[in-house]
Amino acid sequence: MTAYTGWITKFTRIGASIGGVAGFLYAAYIMATSASLAWTDILDAVESVAAVLAFAVILGIFCIALGGVVGLVLGTVLFPLKSFTASSGFMK
């Protein structure tokens, strides 16, 4: 049971990490290429950077949660398959 919990925890952390990074980068890209942001004046640029980072952090947090759930499901599904293939001698 300990191995099962460790496997699920590992997959949940991996999914959350990948989801968070991907969500942050995607949100930063979408916001930075938005036509509604102004990059001409220094004050406008600072406001635009703040808006990009705020949106990226919010979407990144959402993707961390979503990635964690996906990792949890994958870990739950793949662990029995791993133990099945290990016991049958198929994958050593």
Share of the chain above pLDDT 90, in %: 11
pLDDT value for 88: 55
Between 82 and 51, the more confident residue is 51
pLDDT tens per residue across span 29-50: 888 887 777 777 888 888 888 8
Separation between Cα atoms, residue 92 and residue 89, nearest integer Å: 6
Is pTM beyond 0.75 here? no
Average pLDDT on 69-77 reads 85
CA distances from 65 to 10, 30, 37, 70, 76 (A): 15, 20, 28, 9, 17
Between 85 and 57, the more confident residue is 57
